[in-house]
A and B are shown apart, each in its own frame.
Chain A
Amino acid sequence: MYKLTFNEDLCLACGTQDCLVRCQHMDIDQKTARIEMEKIINGEDSFVLHDCATCYACEEYCPHGNHPFYLIVQRQDELGMPPLPEPLIKRGIQTGIPFRGEPEIDEIKGTALNMCVFSNLMDRVQGRLFEGLPIISHDSRKMFHYFCQLMYLHYGKTSVINERLDKIIQTLAAHKAKEIIHFHDECYGTYTSYAPAFGIEVPFKSIHLFEYLYNRLLELKNEIKPLNYKVAYQRPCSSRLSPPMHQYVAKIFDLIGVENVKREYVDENAMCCGGTILGQKKEGSRQYCAEVQKKNIDDMKNAGAEICVFNCPACITTLGKPVQKEGIWPLFMSDLCRLAIGEKIG
């Protein structure tokens, strides 16, 4: 079975314990953080395993790229301490089961766009930005054959990911695309961070959607008309698995002439959408989720945001309606970019 690459010595010798000290959801000092990480490394119970909001941020905070979040989830799995109640775990695991036929494998030369389990969002990848780009997983009946599985990090289930991921990779690879752009950065994180961390081979090159959009916008630069909106970006948890790609948010905003509003909950201090916290077993999770969302949306409002831009379909499902109620327009990044080149969005 696949084994997580985690350097225990490096972790224990860490001078900052940023992974836990900087956690937005637990108040942990450096001394406690070291003790708790040692317990986790040794496979012992720790309050961190129970209280983790599964926001992925510690993956980014770790100064050594040492995968503390993957370790936490692996320990939750091994010790039988899932953060969610059993029925939600069962529901989640069953979500990823394909049930309507086999995928149709078309050979693709060059670059393709992978929609994963978001085939129903094909409207979000229309227009000149995506012209001529072959799509993988465009049929919602078959989309679970392409499900990257990383969602199970929220379920304390690395075992499910490790059991299924290889087959998903084989299905994607069967299309023979040299490069695959991933609509959701959860997929990008799967193939560029999680898989290497667990020694799972990925035979294709992955491209982040924002990198693709930025480069495509450069090609269409003459057609860009500055939008002059004030925009907040809802950074999703999976973006923590690919911090270098986060720079493209600012680059795209500069290119299309929108103001990236100054917020407290931004970049490394970004606030989780709350979707994963809502159902957690820990007492008060629902109320805590509501508090997190309120703080986040208040922050957007106070910063004067007119638009909230999303990458993650789960984030927009969770926060789209609440931000709209506050007069902020929820938009996918792809749609914002389309507006900049004068296209209408549905």
Chain B
Amino acid sequence: MESIYQALVEIVGEDYASNRHEELFTYSKDLGTSPPQWPEYVAAPKTVEEVQKIVYLANKEKVAIVPLGGGLTLAGLALPLKGGIIIDMKRLDKIIEVNEAARYMVVEAGASHGKVTAYLHKHHPTLMHSEPGAPAAATIGGNMAIHGQGDLAHPYGFNTDMINGLEVILPTGEIARFGSCAVGSGWYTMHPLPDLGLFLGWNGSTGIITKISFRLYPYKKIRDNDAFTVSDENLVPEILHELTHLGLTEDLIATSSEIPPVMNRLHHISIMIAGDYEEEMEFKRHMIFDLTLGKYIRSGVGGIGGIAAERLRPQISKSADWKKGGGFEYVGSIVPVAAYPECYRRGSEISARHDIPYTVLGRVIGCCHAMMFSWSYAFNRADAETVRHAREALHETDVMVMELNGTIWKPAVFGQKLMMDRMDQTTLQLMKKVKDLLDPNGIMNPGNWEVQ
């Protein structure tokens, strides 16, 4: 065992490898309800070559490796379920290229969303990327590995729909590239090469993403968060449908929560609009509130909750404060927008059963093609009983998602099993074959998407 540690030290240097209990402790937990899972080693490489050497080492020693980004999924997806080495990717964070004309950006996978946003603000203020609702420390690679979405999900879809190219270290250590970069033509497109689709949504169990090219979009000078409020959850899908038909908004999020009381049993639709001119903004507001939503206002069933408020990212994490102890975890799902009312009703029932104030959020993906709907459950980290309640609520929610014909997003192992139990057998076996082919030693984030 000491030899693995020494080998890691030789690869990344003494300051960036550890087998010490107090440091492994940090990596044994995430912020959700998962019980601790201890790694034996942690290494924080700075270069792709260092990552590659660690993968070769792991194959040689038949020891598990778990790539870790910001560690913010809450669902235990980067916990070492079978021990081994955690590869902390956060030092692999170089910004490699920004192409203003073709609107894309290439970064190392450990670059955080906060770093990318700050870099673009400073050096390319007319461009933005789709930043998720997670804290700024969430990494680009981690977010892509779980099929994340961000604040451009309505116009442009999942963040993984915006990928122009990938560099991946395969579980056996080779480096592969996908997209136009694979033929040496730069990083500007993922298509039209043959689709391999082997690494996104796999939680790092088929390889380690090391470089990513992703699309950038115009960043408008004026950016407002307007809000529309309704009491009747059944109105939410039709309002979102009308707003996406209009096509003038940048992000659409519906939320409801028991606490604070101002949100209770109400549905707040955040309508993000952007423009370069005041006239453009006023035109958009006129089209949205006077023409499209005016009928709801006049009939008294919907109201303008605010205009031109400061844009804040969805702050589900605030629900962690509703109980002492600051813990929360959520189930995310991809569901049809039409499912919003039932998702809200049944989710709030689950919350009530477990004495947890309900918190739900739905973000439109595409032109109402789907919605990321989440149910958040707060718990007190110092109170095992509240953690148990939250964990049970999460599991009940996973089951509910399946009953609603939804798809669990970034499922924990419990949810992965639920989905694999329902999965088409041919697809399931193909997943197994792909995994076996890519990872013959079974070392890559084992326990995740593991087909029995």
| Chain A residues, CB < 8 A from B416 | none
- Kindly provide the distance from the CB of B223 to the nearest chain A CB, expressed in whole angstroms: 12
Cross-chain contact A87 with B229 (CB below 8 angstroms):
yes
Cross-chain contact B286 with A281 (CB below 8 angstroms):
no
Q: Does B160 contact A (CB under 8 A)?
A: no
Which chain A residues in 273-290 approach chain B with CB under 8 Å? 278-279, 281, 283-287, 290
The answer for the CA separation of A286 and B290 in the assembled complex, in Å, is: 7
The answer for the CA separation of A95 and B230 in the assembled complex, in Å, is: 15
Q: Does B219 contact A (CB under 8 A)?
A: no
Given A91-B229, A99-B259, A284-B290, A85:B264 Cβ within 8 A: no
| Chain B residues, CB < 8 A from A284 | 290
Q: Does A222 contact B (CB under 8 A)?
A: no
Given A281-B298, A283-B294, A87:B282 Cβ within 8 A: no
| Chain B residues, CB < 8 A from A283 | 294, 298
**Which of B259, B260, B302 interacts with A87 by CB under 8 Å?**
B302
Cross-chain contact B262 with A94 (CB below 8 angstroms):
yes
The answer for the CA separation of A91 and B286 in the assembled complex, in Å, is: 24
Closest to A94 in B: B261
Prevailing SS type, chain B contact patch: mixed
Report the count of interface residues on B (CB-CB < 8 A): 28
Q: Does B35 contact A (CB under 8 A)?
A: no
The answer for the CA separation of A341 and B141 in the assembled complex, in Å, is: 54
Which chain B residues in 89-145 approach chain A with CB under 8 Å? none
**Interface range, A side:** 20 to 34
Q: Does A321 contact B (CB under 8 A)?
A: yes
The answer for the CA separation of A285 and B305 in the assembled complex, in Å, is: 13
Prevailing SS type, chain A contact patch: helix
Q: Does B304 contact A (CB under 8 A)?
A: yes
The answer for the CA separation of A149 and B398 in the assembled complex, in Å, is: 42
| Chain B residues, CB < 8 A from A286 | 285, 289-290, 304, 307
The answer for the CA separation of A209 and B262 in the assembled complex, in Å, is: 28
Q: What are 11 A-B pairs at a CB distance below 8 A?
A: A85-B297, A86-B231, A87-B229, A87-B266, A87-B301, A94-B264, A99-B259, A281-B297, A281-B300, A286-B289, A321-B308
| Chain B residues, CB < 8 A from A86 | 231, 300-301, 303
The answer for the CA separation of A40 and B238 in the assembled complex, in Å, is: 38
Cross-chain contact B286 with A287 (CB below 8 angstroms):
yes
| Chain B residues, CB < 8 A from A91 | 229, 262, 266, 303, 305
Closest to B265 in A: A90
Question: Sorted from nearest, which 4 A-B pairs have the closest CB atoms?
Answer: A85-B303, A88-B303, A97-B261, A94-B261
| Chain B residues, CB < 8 A from A97 | 261
Cross-chain contact B260 with A99 (CB below 8 angstroms):
yes
Q: Does A231 contact B (CB under 8 A)?
A: no
Cross-chain contact B290 with A287 (CB below 8 angstroms):
yes
Contact with A along B234-272 (1 / 0, CB 8 A): 000000000000000000000000011111111000000
Q: Does A20 contact B (CB under 8 A)?
A: no
Cross-chain contact A90 with B231 (CB below 8 angstroms):
yes
Closest to A282 in B: B298
Cross-chain contact A279 with B305 (CB below 8 angstroms):
yes
- Kindly provide the distance from the CB of A294 to the nearest chain B CB, expressed in whole angstroms: 10
Q: Does A84 contact B (CB under 8 A)?
A: yes
Cross-chain contact B305 with A88 (CB below 8 angstroms):
yes
Which chain B residues in 171-229 approach chain A with CB under 8 Å? 229
Cross-chain contact A278 with B307 (CB below 8 angstroms):
yes
| Chain A residues, CB < 8 A from B259 | 99
- Kindly provide the distance from the CB of B260 to the nearest chain A CB, expressed in whole angstroms: 6
The answer for the CA separation of A85 and B266 in the assembled complex, in Å, is: 13
| Chain B residues, CB < 8 A from A94 | 261-264, 266
Which chain A residues in 256-304 approach chain B with CB under 8 Å? 278-279, 281, 283-287, 290
**Which of B266, B282, B285, B286 interacts with A90 by CB under 8 Å?**
B266
The answer for the CA separation of A303 and B231 in the assembled complex, in Å, is: 44
Contact with A along B282-299 (1 / 0, CB 8 A): 100110011000101110
The answer for the CA separation of A97 and B231 in the assembled complex, in Å, is: 18
- Kindly provide the distance from the CB of B335 to the nearest chain A CB, expressed in whole angstroms: 23
Closest to A88 in B: B303
Q: Knowing that A91-B229, A94-B264 touch, tell me 9 more A-B residue pairs with CB under 8 angstroms.
A: A86-B303, A87-B230, A88-B303, A94-B261, A94-B266, A95-B261, A278-B307, A279-B305, A286-B307
| Chain A residues, CB < 8 A from B262 | 91, 94-95
